[in-house]
A and B are shown apart, each in its own frame.
Chain A
Amino acid sequence: MFDRGILLQVLWTSIAAASFQVLLTIAFALVLKVTKIWNFAQPALMGVAFYTLFVAVNWVGAPIPAAILIAFLVTAAFGFAIERFAFQTLRERGSESITFFIFTLIFAQLVIYVLTLAFTTEPVFLFANMMSPTTLVGGVVVSAWDVSSIIVAVVLTLALLVFLRYTRLGQYMIAVADNADLAEAYGISKRQSYAAAMVIAALFITAAMYLFGSKLAVFPELTLHMMIFAVVATILGGIDRIFPAALAAVGISLLQQLSVLVIDSRWQPLIVFSVLFVAIIFFPRGIRLPARRVVGDGRTGVGTAEAT
């Protein structure tokens, strides 16, 4: 029905386009896993990261690595401040989840309004020249942006996996995510883990917004729409499961890109919303593979291999 070349091209483009979505999903899923907060303030961090990059590159004329570092520091400071001054205060008060919800949402909206006032609603690109060198590989057009995006996403994802599994702080974060009070009883600082989750999320968000902004235009309110993708992927991956959420992000991106072959592109954003409702109705706990039976001495029952 469709030309093989076109299908391969769409497939490649989908995987490349999924790179920044994977990073944003991991940021969202990590904060949810460790802090148990649906961080709807993530669009605020996304906006801060992108516009700091924009100012650093276009107004200050900073070199790209310096701009990325500055953007990360500013975004991390924002994330840390949200955790330290808002989430912690609300936790200490014993606030209900609805209070966290209102705070995160309103804070995101406040930052979007501030960015709109400062930068208007006009979409802006990070760089004056958005063209990326391309090469033809087996009939598929591969751009330098595609390759670098995929590499960044893969490297950061693997680095997080290693960090969570093999570093002390990473293991503390997992312990806090599993049972914060018990972890604290063993001398692990909940606050440190919560703050670390926000700072790591800021790193992923900065990388994602750099990749996105170096290919597509951004306007303040767009960040709110972009977050939905991360939320859907987090649900599909199974809440509390960071890396399956990242895989779900790739899957949704594939679905979204492939949909252009059958439906009008103006309806493409609806794919995410449709997946959201399908996920809520049919996979509310995420798509999970059947649990693996643990082969052992017979005393153990059924185990799962999920580490994070």
Chain B
Amino acid sequence: MEFLGSMLIQIGIFTILATSFNLIIGYGGLMSIAHPIFFALGAYGSALATLTTGVPVPIGIMLGAGLATLASVAISLPSLRVSGDYLVIASVGFQLGVLQIIKNSEWTGGPGGLSNIPPLIDTTGPAAIWSYVAIVALAAIATILAVRRLVGGDLGRAITAMRDDEEAFSALGHDAMRLKILLFAFGSGLAGLAGGLYGHYFLFVTPEQFEVLYSAAMLTMVVVGGIRTVWGPALGAVLLQLLPSAINFLKLPSSVTGPLQGIIFTTLVLVFMFARPQGLLGRAPGAQVVAEEDDPLEVRVK
């Protein structure tokens, strides 16, 4: 039962991560691979806040999410000023640089990470686990609904217009850079929130949980589920939590399991990119492309 609870919690956390990543990379068309580091900033920020200052855990989680949001603005502001291409470069540099700091600093616990992180629910047993499942599920559903609302209304139309033709969008008097930074900050803040929820459930965080290669898993969830679909990343998160669990049943050595999972994740992305670029929930090429007033983004499939 504990295993099932843990898996559901991870699915919920990865749903938040994948949905927020889809907002940035899919809807926003912003190239970044730094999502794992915003997840890390949320986890470390919240853990450090609660461990060192003793603030209540929910406040710590909010602080962690705030830290991730601030950091995202700090990297997107200078890079987007130049061009979208620079965001990906800045994100790669930021990801590796922050990991370097985390690994080498004493206050982050160095390579060993932080342990004894206070739990969000201060009791043990099945009731605590299922309460946590409920909290994470609520957060995941709230994230999906927030993104759906964001991309479905007037703002959604603006995001689509900006992504498809930034020059025309700017020529109409809109501030594309501001919109991009807002999207990036919102998505990164959600990743920070997921990090906080992660840290206060597993009660320890280490740098290796947030390595660059982790971004492959997130991209897989988005691409396999369906980029620019509201529910696709959630489906991707479910599949990508079940798949490693299936591999674990093979009882392979950990030196094989890790790379094998990575190979499966990345191969899935490549297969979907070339064979079914719209993902599992996206519309097939040549499908109905008539604009719908209430869901304009669904027409973007080419």
Contacts and interface: CB of A to CB of B under 8 A. Distances in A.
Contacts of B258: 116
For the complex of A and B, the 7 pairs showing the least CB-CB separation, nearest first, are A273-B97, A113-B262, A110-B266, A284-B82, A117-B259, A276-B93, A116-B259
Interface in B77-120: 78-79, 81-82, 84-86, 88-90, 92-94, 96-97, 100-101, 104
Interface of B: 25, 29, 31, 33, 75, 78-79, 81-82, 84-86, 88-90, 92-94, 96-97, 100-101, 104, 211-213, 215-216, 219, 223, 255-256, 258-260, 262-263, 266-267, 269-270, 273-274, 277, 302
Nearest to B89: A231
A73 interface: no
B89 A270 contact: no
Given A114-B263, A117-B259, A228-B96, A106 B269 contact: yes
A289 interface: no
Nearest to A224: B212
A227 B92 CA distance: 10
B262 A280 contact: no
Interface of A: 38, 40, 89, 94, 96-99, 101-103, 105-107, 109-110, 112-114, 116-117, 120-121, 221, 224-225, 228, 231-232, 235, 266-267, 269-270, 272-274, 276-277, 280-281, 284-285
Contacts of A221: 211-213
Contacts of A285: 82
Nearest to B164: A96
Contact of B85 (A38, A103, A274, A277): A38
Contacts of A40: 92
A280 B78 contact: yes
20 contacts: A89-B274, A97-B85, A99-B277, A105-B215, A106-B270, A110-B262, A112-B213, A113-B263, A113-B266, A114-B259, A117-B260, A221-B212, A231-B92, A231-B93, A273-B94, A273-B97, A273-B100, A274-B97, A276-B97, A280-B90
A267 B96 contact: no
A136 to B, nearest CB: 34
A151 to B, nearest CB: 31
B109 to A, nearest CB: 15
B270 A101 contact: no
A198 B262 CA distance: 26
A109 B90 contact: no
A266 B104 contact: yes
B270 A110 contact: yes
Given A106-B269, A228-B96, A270-B101, 4 more contacts: A99-B273, A102-B273, A117-B260, A276-B89
B36 to A, nearest CB: 12
A273 B31 CA distance: 18
B198 to A, nearest CB: 22
Contact of B100 (A110, A117, A231, A270): A270
B275 to A, nearest CB: 11
B263 to A, nearest CB: 5
Most buried by B among A221, A272, A277: A277
